Structure 1
């Protein structure tokens, strides 16, 4: 299964619409995970034309800094606990990176966000930097 990952699109603040290469890269995905800061639900609508979209509500989607609050939508949640082919994926906008031990750690944050089962992989946004880390088996 191929999953498209995207975050912090900031449309239309950053630019009027998504970059054309996003659609080129996502043409054959079976699902799209958007890790927040969408700013306008039309982004989800456009991506939905390619594959089902699961989107995390970011700080730019909740009215902070005077931005519009994105309306309720079945495709937009604070946290998603997804499973694809037996693989658990957590999706949210923010986690504490870097950690501030002992109180603010990824393990504690995961327990709060995913109390039923820790995901195998966590997808998050907010940093505007691609990063892959292994922390406590996730």
Structure 2
């Protein structure tokens, strides 16, 4: 299974639309893991309608309709792995601990956004993955899970 992992689209405040490369990738992946700061609900609905499996949380910059539509965090089970989704908030200092502490049940993997900085770190026995920010000049991630093995790669979004 391969999932597109995105965060921090900031549409329409910082870019007018979803970068074309991400729309093209939607046809080749099994689903989308979206980590907030879409800003408007139209962006969420477009992504949700464009893929079979859509898992998402809202971010701190999302409009209220997005916050009403999506949770602030979510635990999902993918190929036997407990994966936590959370955007994040506040200073990037200590963000992984804050996010982990927000979950009642400890996930094996946490996908998060907010910092706009790609990350692949093990902390407190949990693998933390951040795809960066999904804008032109930014980055996105591809998460591949096969037989319980996980591979996460980050790619640049070219202009």
Interval containing the TM-score (normalised by the shorter chain):
0.7 to 0.9
Aligned length: 123
Following TM superposition, by how much is the alpha carbon of 1:131 offset from its aligned partner in structure 2, in angstroms? 1.0
Deviations 1:59-115 (A, max 9, x none): 101xxxxxx322522xx111010001111110001166432xxxx871x642x3221
TM-score (normalised: structure 2)? 0.69
Q: Which runs of 5+ in 2 are unaligned?
A: 127-159
2:85 match: 91
Q: Quick one: structure 1 residues 105 and 26, their matched pair in 2 at CA, closer, same or farther if it must change by over 3 Å?
A: closer
| Residue 40 of structure 2 corresponds to residue 16 of structure 1 | no
Kindly indicate which of the two structures has a greater share of residues assigned to strand.
2
Q: Which runs of 5+ in 1 are unaligned?
A: 62-67
1:65 match: none
Give the one of 81, 92, 103 matched to 2:75: 81
CA RMSD of aligned residues (A): 2.0
| Residue 113 of structure 2 corresponds to residue 125 of structure 1 | yes
TM-score (normalised: structure 1)? 0.79
| Runs of 4+ residues over 4 Å off in structure 1 | none
